[in-house]
Homo-oligomer: A and B are copies of this chain.
Amino acid sequence: MSTRKRIDSEATAESLHSAAIHLLRRLRHADAASGLNSARLSALSVIVFAGPITLGRLADAEQVRPPTMTRIVNALAAKSLVTKTASASDRRTIHLSATMKGKRLLLQARRRRIRSLARQIAILSPHEQKTLHRAVAILNSLAARPVTL
In the complex, chain B residues whose CB is within 8 Å of the CB of A3: none
Chain A 115-148 near chain B by CB (<8 Å), digits 1 or 0: 1111111111010110111111111101100011
Task: Provide the bound-state CA to CA distance between A14 and B8, in Å.
Answer: 27
In chain A, positions 34-69 with a C-beta closer than 8 Å to chain B are 38, 42, 45, 62-64
- The segment from A21-29, A71-79, A85-93 that touches chain B is A21-29
Output the residue of A9, A26, A129 with the most chain B CB within 10 A.
A9
Chain A 1-32 near chain B by CB (<8 Å), digits 1 or 0: 00001101111111111111111111101100
Query: What is the copy number of this chain in the assembly?
Result: 2
Q: A16-B117, A117-B16 are in contact. Are A149 and B30 (CB under 8 A)?
A: yes
In the complex, chain B residues whose CB is within 8 Å of the CB of A6: 118, 122
In the complex, chain B residues whose CB is within 8 Å of the CB of A103: none
Question: Can you offer 23 A-B residue contacts whose CB atoms are under 8 A?
Answer: A6-B118, A9-B129, A10-B118, A12-B121, A12-B136, A13-B114, A13-B121, A14-B110, A15-B136, A15-B137, A16-B117, A17-B23, A17-B27, A18-B42, A18-B45, A20-B23, A21-B42, A26-B147, A30-B149, A116-B149, A120-B149, A131-B135, A135-B136
